[in-house]
Amino acid sequence: MIKEWFDFSGKVVLITGASRGIGESVAGAFCDLGASVVLTSRKQDALDKVACNLQGKSGKACAIACHVGKEEDRKKLVDQVIQQFGKIDVLVNNAATNPVFGPAINTDEGAWDKIFEVNLKGPFFLSKLVAAKMAEKGGGAIVNVASVAGLKPMMGLGVYSISKAGLLMLTRVLAAELGEKGIRVNAVAPGVIKTKFSEAIWKNDFIRKVVEQSSALGRLGEPDDVVGAVVFLAGPAAKYITGQMIVVDGGTGLKGA
């Protein structure tokens, strides 16, 4: 039975922010496990390259561009996926942005709106559209990629931290409301993972060493370190788990002074 729980053959998985980093790794894993994976982000070219690299795996991948903050894009995306595949079994809300670094109190309204549009409003309204389709088919699973910054303020990333705290609450609110429709909603909260998004952190020798030294596992994360938790929460192995969060940070802070 345990093998079947990690078999995603016949399942349709929609992943935002799938053109690189964590989203790309997660997409590769679902493809390995037999799913039809829909990759989305703003840039069609980048997505096409990822889809091309995934050819030859057990599942299949297709790429549809969508800015998660834009209502029209979200609607077109879901319509296209339903037209092509007839259903969505799993949604991974992974795309996020952070255009500013520094004290939260200095953030202007434009930057605030951008962060919330992509990191919170997008996942909420995409979940709303997708949940309606999932409910028609008797259920599904939503996995939100939050951050440890949503649990404890991250220096210089204050507004981003607020948005991720919001995403964790969104996870619990939707879990409570959608459970009766057979839809589970969970989150993962990664620590520092070596991607383009976190370059400013891991390319800075001082900050990198501080994080590594405080980490129980003594290293920063790689995108594929996040994959297992997402796949677990998305499938039947987690069939009695909803409204929860898994921290994926290698024990960062456990060795802190």
Ligand X SMILES: NC(=O)c1ccc[n+]([C@@H]2O[C@H](COP(=O)([O-])OP(=O)(O)OC[C@H]3O[C@@H](n4cnc5c(N)ncnc54)[C@H](OP(=O)(O)O)[C@@H]3O)[C@@H](O)[C@H]2O)c1
- Figure out which of the listed residues 46, 210, 217, 241 binds ligand X, where binding follows CB under 6 A: 46
Q: How far is the CB of 214 from ligand X (least distance, A)?
A: 15
Q: What is the largest CA-CA distance in the chain?
A: 54
**91, 85 in Cβ contact below 8 A?**
no
Binders of ligand X among 216-255, rule CB under 6 A? Answer: none
115/175 with CB nearer ligand X: 115
42 touches ligand X by CB under 6 A: yes
- Figure out which of the listed residues 190, 229, 230, 232 binds ligand X, where binding follows CB under 6 A: 190
211 touches ligand X by CB under 6 A: no
For residue 142, the cross-strand partners are: 91, 185
Binders of ligand X among 54-73, rule CB under 6 A? Answer: 67-69
Q: How far is the CB of 51 from ligand X (least distance, A)?
A: 13
- Figure out which of the listed residues 36, 94, 127, 171 binds ligand X, where binding follows CB under 6 A: 94
154 touches ligand X by CB under 6 A: no
- Figure out which of the listed residues 145, 159, 185, 229 binds ligand X, where binding follows CB under 6 A: 145
161 touches ligand X by CB under 6 A: no
Binding residues with ligand X: total (CB under 6 A)? 29
Q: How far apart are CA 16 and CA 47, in angstroms?
A: 11
Q: How far is the CB of 4 from ligand X (least distance, A)?
A: 29
Choose the catalytic residue: 8, 30, 160, 232: 160
- Which residues are identified as catalytic? 160
Task: Summarize as ranges the residues that interact with ligand X (CB under 6 A).
Answer: 16-23, 41-43, 46, 67-69, 94-97, 118, 145, 147, 190, 192-193, 195-198
